[in-house]
Amino acid sequence: MDRIPKYIAISNEVISQIESGKLQPGDKMSSENELIANYGISNTTARKVLSYIESHGWVKKIKGKGTFVINRSKDMHLNRILGSFDAMKESFRNNLIKEGLTPKDILLEKTVLNDGISVNINNKNYVIEGKVLKLHRLRYANDILMKDEIKYISMNICPDIHIIEMKDSLINLYEKVYKVKLKDIQRTITTKIVYGDDQDNYFRNESPLSVFILGSVASNDKSETIEIEYSLYRGDKYSFTIHTKPDLIG
């Protein structure tokens, strides 16, 4: 019996990890150097592994970023992590690109509110004083509306944010451009049913559709509210994983 080439054996092992869910869509694949170190193989074999997995539609190489597991589910189901600060720093757009999907945004509203905003999320009231940027975007993957997103951003803390290009995640923008030290992010998730004839329903569903309602409040080290979010996620396209990290005991 012919022996299976080593690069195919390793490729099949990686594919099994993807099929089992150990590697999720959007996860970064081992680099060429990491494959060499993990499997004790040559750089030629490592390149063959990455090429084989990509040519069979399991991963996608993104220039300057690495190789990422593609979303191959027929219903384009997406999993997102709640409770992970690192996950929040990944932009909606970049997450979709990593999963092999095509992102698109439609901007419905970009308005400066001069008198601040008060929003009730899960029966708790949150306030941003002074000027506030209201940002309302419809966020698509492969021309399917995935998220109806509304965000309110403090312009006292983030002046002129309304004229800044927003391709990166807003969390990264706060930290890099405005040097904000984030202290706390509260997130709540509830559900509701939306109907095709509901006012302000952009999902264009003919039958009743379950959606997740994500409420989020971000504050800085001075306990000032930077951002308030109220977004709707398609319940038939999303699942959420809760990520927790125990406090270190010194």
Average pLDDT on 20-34 reads: 91
Region label for 100, one of left (φ > 0), alpha (ψ between -120 and 50) or beta (otherwise): left
pLDDT digits over 90-120, tens only?
A: 889 989 999 999 999 999 999 999 999 988 7
pLDDT band of 248, cuts 50, 70, 90: very low
- Residue 64 DSSP code: T
pLDDT digits over 179-233, tens only?
A: 999 888 888 899 999 999 998 999 999 999 999 999 999 999 998 999 999 999 9
Helix (H, G, I), strand (E, B) or coil at 155: coil
Average pLDDT on 14-34 reads: 91
Taking Cα atoms as reference points, which of 195, 188, 197 lies closest to residue 216?
188
At which residue do the structure tokens 């300057």 appear? 64
Residues forming a β-bridge with 81: 241
Note the Cα 159 to chain centre separation in Å: 25
- pLDDT over 70 (residue 246): no
Q: Which run of H or E residues covers position 76?
A: none
Q: How many CA atoms lie within 13 A of 45 on its CB side?
A: 16
d(CA 45, CA 178): 45
- The answer to whether the CB of 226 falls within 8 A of the CB of 153 is yes
- The answer to whether the CB of 211 falls within 8 A of the CB of 144 is no
Residues of the chain with CATH 1.10.10.10: 6-69
Average of per-residue pLDDT values in the chain: 90
Give the per-residue pLDDT at 2. 56
Average pLDDT on 6-29 reads: 91
Nearby residues of 64 by Cβ (< 8 Å), 6 or more positions away? none
Q: Which two tokens stand for residue 80?
A: 């997102």
Residues of the chain with CATH 3.40.1410.10: 78-242
Average pLDDT on 138-165 reads: 95
The yes or no reply on domain 78-242 and CATH 3.40.1410.10 is yes
Give the per-residue pLDDT at 247. 54
Q: How far apart are the first and last CA of the chain?
A: 57
Q: What's the whole-model pTM score?
A: 0.83
**Strands 78-82 vs 238-242: parallel, antiparallel or unpaired:** parallel
pLDDT band of 142, cuts 50, 70, 90: very high
Give the per-residue pLDDT at 4. 87
Q: What number does CATH give the domain 6-69?
A: 1.10.10.10
